[in-house]
Amino acid sequence: MGSPGRVLAMLSAVAVLGLGAVACGGVSSRQSVSVLGTWTDDEQARFADVLRPFERQTGIDVRFEGTRDFEAVLAGRVQSGDMPDLALMPSLGDLEQYARGGQLVALDDGSGAVDLARIQREYGPTWLGVGKVPGADGRDREYGLVVKGTRKSLVWYSGAHYSWPVPSTLDELVATSQEIAATGTPPWCLGMRSSSDSGWPGTDWIEDILLHQATAEDYRSWANGDLAWTSPTVRKAWETWGKLVAPAMVRDGPAGALLSGFLDPGAAMFDRRPGCYLHQAGSFAAGVYRDSAGQPATDARYFDFPAASGDRRIIIAGDVLAMFHDTPAARRLANYLTGTQAQEIWARAGGTISPNNAVTATAYPDDALRALARSVEDTACADVVFDASDAMPAAMRTAFYQGVTEFVANPARLDRILAGLDNVRLRSYPAVAAGDSPPPEQFCPSGSG
Amino acid sequence: MRARPGRGWLRGRARETSTPGRLLLLAGLVVLATLAVGATAVATVLSQRHTAVTLADRTSPTVVDAVRARALLADADLVAAQSLLPPGSWGPPTAQFQEDIKTAGQALARAADNSTAGEADRAQIQAVNNGLLVVYQGDVYIAANANDDGTPSTPPGADNGAGAGTDASASAESTAASVGLTGVYLVYASDLMREPTGILATVAAFQARNSANLPDEGTAPWALLGGHLAAAVALLALLVYAQVFLRHRFHRAMSLGLLGAAVVLVLLAGGLTALTLRTSHDIDRGVRETTAVACLWQAREAAAIIEQDRTFGELAPGLARGAVLPTATDIQNDQNGQDDVAVADGCGGQAGLPAAGQADGGGGPAAVYQARDARLGVLVGERTTTLDDALDDAIPGVGLPWAMTAGTLALLALGAYAFWPRIREYGS
């Protein structure tokens, strides 16, 4: 090799070394993504398990902050301009609020950075479209993706202690409850206390009764703000619930219900002498029941919330991934969390229903969760609705929480409660406040259900 | 015998070099050593000043603001319970509640601005201020506006006149079954304040992370000071050597320039050492006083929480709070609480706390609480004054780096005064 060749080779070597140094510098300044969610304690530990392979494979540092007061904390951070990169929102109402406010990044921007084509292939039709809400320009865009699903419309009981027939209609549920109450033990375990969201278990009751007494269309119309709270349909649901939460029907009476944590009263179902027999709760309760002594309950069973008539209808809920900052790390994490690997880790940990149909049935830890996951897939999309309170605007949701709390304390004030809720409805839904009819629900993709 | 490398280097060089060369070499070394002495002196003063200013302007105020906010918020929670639970014998406390919340919010905003604990912590405190506190006040608002029969006000925005007729007829029959929602919403509010991820715990964690950034005891730029002293000793040795060298070679009895330089050097190094030790001591005192003030505020917070539990237990025993909410001691993460005033880690030995923990004789528990809180308030005031003095004392004067620079220039000038005439002799 001549002199010019040697010079060229040396320059190449220097360039390679320089690039190597730059690359090393890149590795040392590790990418990170901040995530805000509702999970604390065990749920946070499960999420850490889900994240571990991602962090190992990508080198991206995921900084997760879990808080039970998610809504308040996120509102505070948005107000102070310090949003997380990603938020895992339990409420579609919040999703829509931030999308309309222009704070969220649309995931269907056509860049393909978030692999929506794959997600549409893998996700069940019921879960797709949940996060499609209007943005600042009023156009429906994909602002959220469900990453952790919950199947609601369930009533849990102890297989060892509950000795009555499983009710198949709403009337039978009321009759069975009254029959149990006549034995001197209240039928229902109910806890309404839940940090800044106290009252939400009561909203689940109203939603279930309304869905199963009326129709899925009525339910959606109510959740959308179109159907008035003072309408006979909604009022009837509250009155039915009133029969089920009368003082003799609930463990420790209304005061006990209002002051107990939402999952705590369920423990009394599994005691040697049960303090109550039935607990309305979602699939998140699977595998987490313990008796009052703290021993895991091995005989937890469930039945579907009974319909007044007709086919099964179910309520689902979920944590929806939304993006505040469009960064490569955030997009990679969004792809990962919606993918099969993360979803199977989550499913294996229990207490969750995967929205991703590519997750194998064997990933679930028990038959109950397997069956619950399948039930969402097997139910016609038109008969699956999203948790109404989670889909409502924040002001409506908060008023709903307060309304059910007030109702448990004093059911005689129903008229005042419903009138108050209707006033909030007229102000809090953008379309209703503008004097328009809310847009029709676009929950099911065309051709499904 | 050849001189071993590194030993008697100057002597070796002196043997090999002519007198002018040796003179220039010596002068050059004196200049270098003087610059090293000056640079390390200025760096030492700047470093210590930075530590003291950060302590006085950011870390200490952040810790105090955070813990003060905790005490005010605990007091607000207590005032809410005292005013809203029967018999409400403490008079109208709304103004006190609002004042507590407002002042706590301002303290938290300042703490977030001054925090040295990182962006995540800053964001968390802002979230508390802008989010959780708003929800908390909403719950207290509902509790405060519950109707006389124990039922709550209608949800915000509700028309209070709606359905009044129906309610009136149904109200009497439902009274027995109704539950006082004032108490229920007070409990919900206290949950937000005191649960493990609640307001007080979040602020306590923020405070702890900022406290970790307080300087350790005995903190000082010891390495810089050591470097300075080493350079000073080297320079002094050079000055002595130069004195001997000039006496032998130029038959001068004594170089006044070199003598003056030696005096200035000793004053500079001695002064800097004394200043460093004193500033380190003052910083330690500032940290101790910060901890003492924090402990007193924590004692006030703990006393308010205990009094609130007592208020609930006495006036609304059915609301059974202890089993659900953490105690004051849990919030402060302290396993060794003293007396019934829990004190947090590091607070046990602080002056004033044992006395503050003693109950006054006479009066009921409420009077005891009032007396204790008043005494703690006085102690907080006294220790805050001491803290302010300590922090003022800890900051080295802004002119000190210039004084060090001036000393260095004086050394250079005196060196020049000693060497320059001899160098010129050879040049002429």
- Label residues A261-288 b or e (16+ Cβ within 10 Å = b): bbbebbbbbbbeebbbbbbbbbbbbbbe
Mean pLDDT of chain A: 88
Query: What does DSSP say about strands A314-323 and A384-386: parallel, antiparallel, or unpaired?
Result: parallel
* Mean pLDDT value across residues B394-404: 90
Q: Do residues B182 and B139 lie in contact, with contact meaning Cβ atoms separated by under 8 Å? A: no
B296: CB partners within 8 A, 6+ apart: B350, B352, B353, B356, B376, B379, B380, B383
Q: Token pair for residue A179?
A: 């029959």
* Mean pLDDT value across residues A205-232: 95
> pLDDT grade, residue A18 (50/70/90)?
very low
DSSP code at position A281:
-
> pLDDT grade, residue A402 (50/70/90)?
very high
pLDDT at B158: 35
Alpha-carbon distance of B330 to B311, in angstroms, equals 19
pLDDT at A51: 97
**Is residue B37 over pLDDT 90?**
yes
Q: Do residues A234 and A418 lie in contact, with contact meaning Cβ atoms separated by under 8 Å? A: yes
Q: Largest Cα–Cα distance of chain B, in whole Å?
A: 121
Q: Do residues B308 and B177 lie in contact, with contact meaning Cβ atoms separated by under 8 Å? A: no
More confident residue, B168 or A289: A289
Q: Residue B344 CA to chain centroid, in angstroms?
A: 16
For A186-207, give the DSSP string: -SEE---B-GGGTTHHHHHHHH
Note every long-range contact of B84-91, with CB atoms under 8 Å and residues 24 or more positions apart, other chains counting: B84/B140, B84/B143, B84/B144, B84/B182, B84/B186, B85/B182, B85/B183, B85/B186, B85/B311, B85/B312, B85/B315, B85/B316, B86/B315, B86/B316, B87/B315
pLDDT at B16: 56
Closest CA to A60 of A71, A72, A52: A52
pLDDT digits (tens, 9 = 90+) for A159-170: 999 999 999 999
Question: Which of B164, B181, B187 faces A406 most closely, judged by CB atoms?
Answer: B181
pLDDT at B179: 61
Closest CA to B79 of B304, B298, B321: B304
pLDDT at B90: 44
Q: Do B162 and A40 touch (CB under 8 A)?
A: no
E strands along A129-255, which residues?
Answer: 132-134, 140-142, 144-151, 154-158, 188-189
Cis omega (within 30 of 0) for bond into A430? no
pLDDT at B363: 63
Query: What does DSSP say about strands A300-304 and A314-323: parallel, antiparallel, or unpaired?
Result: unpaired
ipTM above 0.90, yes or no: no
> pLDDT grade, residue A183 (50/70/90)?
very high
Q: Do A72 and B127 touch (CB under 8 A)?
A: yes
More confident residue, B10 or B379: B379
Distance from CA of A289 to the nearest CA of B (A): 18
Closest CA to B264 of B397, B46, B417: B417
pLDDT at B333: 43
Alpha-carbon distance of A180 to A163, in angstroms, equals 10
pLDDT at A198: 92
Question: Which of A195, A403, A409 faces B179 most closely, judged by CB atoms?
Answer: A409
Question: Which of A195, A409, A412 faces B167 most closely, judged by CB atoms?
Answer: A412
pLDDT digits (tens, 9 = 90+) for B285-295: 999 999 999 99
Residues on chain A touching B178 (C-beta within 8 angstroms)? 254, 409-410, 412
Query: What does DSSP say about strands A154-158 and A300-304: parallel, antiparallel, or unpaired?
Result: antiparallel
**Is residue B148 over pLDDT 60?**
no
Q: How many CB atoms lie within 10 A of CB B35?
A: 15
> pLDDT grade, residue B182 (50/70/90)?
confident
Q: Do residues B48 and B418 lie in contact, with contact meaning Cβ atoms separated by under 8 Å? A: no
* Mean pLDDT value across residues B406-412: 94
**Is residue A68 over pLDDT 50?**
yes
Residues on chain A touching B125 (C-beta within 8 angstroms)? none
Q: Residue A378 carries which side chain, given as an amino acid letter?
A: D
Distance from CA of B130 to the nearest CA of A (A): 4
Distance from CA of A82 to the nearest CA of B (A): 6
Which burial class, exposed, middle or buried, applies to B273 when counting CB atoms under 10 A from its CB (0-12, 13-18, 19+)?
middle
Q: Output the CATH code of domain A154-312.
A: 3.40.190.10
**Is residue A445 over pLDDT 70?**
no
Give, to the nearest 10 degrees, the angle between helix B19-54 and helix B400-427: 170
Q: Where are the domains of chain B?
A: 18-157+179-427
The DSSP bridge partners found for residue A300 are: A158
Full-model pTM = 0.80
pLDDT at A318: 94
Q: Do residues A323 and A394 lie in contact, with contact meaning Cβ atoms separated by under 8 Å? A: no
Segment among A107-111, B29-33, B253-257, B350-354 with least mean pLDDT: B350-354
Q: Would an 8 Å CB–CB cutoff place B18 in contact with chain A?
A: no
Residues on chain B touching A412 (C-beta within 8 angstroms)? 167, 170-171, 173-174, 178
pLDDT at B348: 56
- The reply to whether A32-151+317-383 and A154-312 are identical in fold is yes
Q: Output the CATH code of domain A32-151+317-383.
A: 3.40.190.10
Q: Would an 8 Å CB–CB cutoff place A42 in contact with chain B?
A: no
pLDDT digits (tens, 9 = 90+) for B306-364: 999 888 888 877 775 544 455 555 555 433 333 333 333 456 544 445 444 444 445 67
The DSSP bridge partners found for residue A33 are: A62
**Is residue B149 over pLDDT 70?**
no
Question: Which of A259, A409, A419 faces B319 most closely, judged by CB atoms?
Answer: A259
Distance from CA of B327 to the nearest CA of A (A): 17
The DSSP bridge partners found for residue A141 are: A133
**Is residue A15 over pLDDT 60?**
no
Mean pLDDT of chain B: 79
Segment among A20-34, B127-141, B371-385 with least mean pLDDT: A20-34
DSSP code at position A163:
-
Q: Do residues A94 and A74 lie in contact, with contact meaning Cβ atoms separated by under 8 Å? A: yes
> pLDDT grade, residue A55 (50/70/90)?
very high
pLDDT at B325: 52
pLDDT digits (tens, 9 = 90+) for B265-282: 999 999 999 999 999 999
Q: Would an 8 Å CB–CB cutoff place A44 in contact with chain B?
A: no
* Mean pLDDT value across residues B147-151: 48
pLDDT digits (tens, 9 = 90+) for A412-434: 999 999 999 999 999 999 888 88
Which of B:315-354 have CB within 8 Å of A?
318-320, 324
Question: Which of B134, B158, B171 faces A419 most closely, judged by CB atoms?
Answer: B158
**Is residue A278 over pLDDT 80?**
yes
Q: Do B174 and A412 touch (CB under 8 A)?
A: yes
The DSSP bridge partners found for residue A149 are: A318, A353
pLDDT at B84: 85
Q: Largest Cα–Cα distance of chain A, in whole Å?
A: 104
pLDDT at B345: 43
Q: Residue A262 carries which side chain, given as an amino acid letter?
A: F
pLDDT at A286: 86
* Mean pLDDT value across residues B377-404: 90
Q: Where are the domains of chain A?
A: 32-151+317-383, 154-312
Q: Would an 8 Å CB–CB cutoff place A419 in contact with chain B?
A: yes
**Is residue B202 over pLDDT 70?**
yes
Q: Would an 8 Å CB–CB cutoff place A67 in contact with chain B?
A: yes
Alpha-carbon distance of B242 to B239, in angstroms, equals 5
* Mean pLDDT value across residues A184-199: 93
Which of B:119-178 have CB within 8 Å of A?
119-120, 122-124, 126-132, 134-135, 138, 142, 149-152, 154-160, 162-164, 166-167, 170-171, 173-174, 177-178
